[in-house]
Structure 1
Amino acid sequence: MSLPDGLTLAASAFNWTPEVIAAETPAPDIAVGIVRTGVASTIELEPGQLWRSFPEPIDGEVDALRQDLDDAGGSVGIVGASLDDWLPGGRRRTDDERLGFLLPQLRAAQRLGAVGVRLPIGQAGEPLLRRLLPELHARDLVLFEEIQGQQTPDSPATAAAIAVIHELDDSRVRLLVDISMLMPALPVTYLARLRSAGIPVGLVQRLSDAWRDPSTATAVVDLLRSGAVPPGIHTLYMNMLIRFGRSHAADLRGVLPLVGAFHLKFWDLHDVDGRVSNPIRDLGAELAGTQFTGTLCSEWGGHEWLDDDPTQMTREHLALARRTLNGDIR
Structure 2
Amino acid sequence: MEATLPARWTTAASSFNWAPEIISAQRSSQDIVTGIAGNKVASVIELEPGLLWRSFPAPQHHEVDEFRTALQAAGGQVSIVGCSLDDFTTTSDRRTTGQRLEFLVPQLDAARRVGASGVRLPIGQAGPKLLGLLQPILHDLDLVLFEEIQGQQSPLNPQVRPALDHISALDDRRIRVLVDISMLMPALPVTYLEELSEGGLSPVLCGLLARDWKDPSINDAVMSALRSGTIPARVHTLFMNLLIRFGRSEASDLTDILPLVGGFHLKFWDLDDADNRVSQPLLELGRLLDQHGFTGTLTSEWGGHEWLQDDPSDMTRRHLAMARNALAAGAGDRLGQ
* Structure 2: runs of 5 or more not aligned: none
TM-score scaled to structure 2, two decimals? 0.96
Identity of aligned residues (%): 59
Q: What is the deviation of 1:293?
A: 1.4
SS of match in other structure, 1:190? helix
SS of residue in 1 equivalent to 2:271: coil
Equivalent position of 1:180 in the other structure: 182
Aligned-partner Cα distance in 2 for 1:107–1:5? 29
- Offset of residue 221 of structure 1: 1.3
2:47 to 21, 31, 45: 45
In 1, the alpha carbon distance for the partners of 2:305 and 2:194 equals 15
Per-residue deviation, 1:6: 1.2
- Partner Cα distance (1:5, 1:54) in 2: 34
Residue identity in the other structure for 2:314: Q
Distance of 2:218 and 2:158 partners within structure 1: 22
Q: Is the 8 A contact 1:15 1:301 kept in 2?
A: yes
Q: Which stretch has the larger CA shift, 172-181 or 90-99? A: 90-99
Indicate the RMSD between aligned Cα atoms, in angstroms.
1.1
C-alpha displacement at 1:224, in angstroms? 1.1
The question of whether the paired residues in 2 share the 8 Å contact of 1:4 and 1:325 is answered with no
Amino acid at match of 1:191: L
Map 1:259-274 to 2 at 5 A.
Answer: 259-274=261-276
Q: Secondary structure at the match of 2:310?
A: coil
**In 1, distance between residues paired with 2:57 and 2:218?**
40
- Aligned residue type for 1:300: W
Give secondary structure in 1 for the equivalent of 2:56. coil
Out of 108, 111, 114, the position equivalent to 1:109 is: 111
Report the counterpart of residue 26 of structure 2 in structure 1.
Answer: 24
CA distance in 2, matches of 1:285, 1:230: 41
- Residues 1:191 and 2:193 aligned together: yes
Within-5 A mapping of 1:246-325 = 246-325=248-327
Q: Could you say what secondary structure the match of 2:159 adopts?
A: helix
CA contact (8 A) 1:249 1:283 kept: yes
Distance 1:109 1:194 in 2: 38
Q: Is contact 1:266–1:298 with CA below 8 Å preserved after alignment?
A: yes
- 1:226 matched to 2:237: no
Deviation of the 1:89 alpha carbon: 5.4
Q: In the aligned structure 2, how far is the partner of 1:217 from the partner of 1:240? A: 8
Return the match for 2:166 from 164, 167, 171.
Answer: 164
- Structure 1 length-normalised TM: 0.98
2:61 maps to what in 1? 59
CA contact (8 A) 1:191 1:204 kept: yes
Equivalent positions of 1:65-80 (< 5 A) are: 65-80=67-82
d(CA) in 2 for partners of 1:89, 1:167? 34
Quick check: 1:179–1:264 contact (8 Å CA) kept in 2? yes
Question: Which amino acid is 1:25 matched to?
Answer: R
- Rounded Cα–Cα distance in structure 2 between residues aligned with 1:82 and 1:94: 16
Q: CA deviation at 1:72?
A: 1.5
Is structure 2 residue 99 aligned with structure 1 residue 97?
yes
Match of 1:197, as an amino acid? G
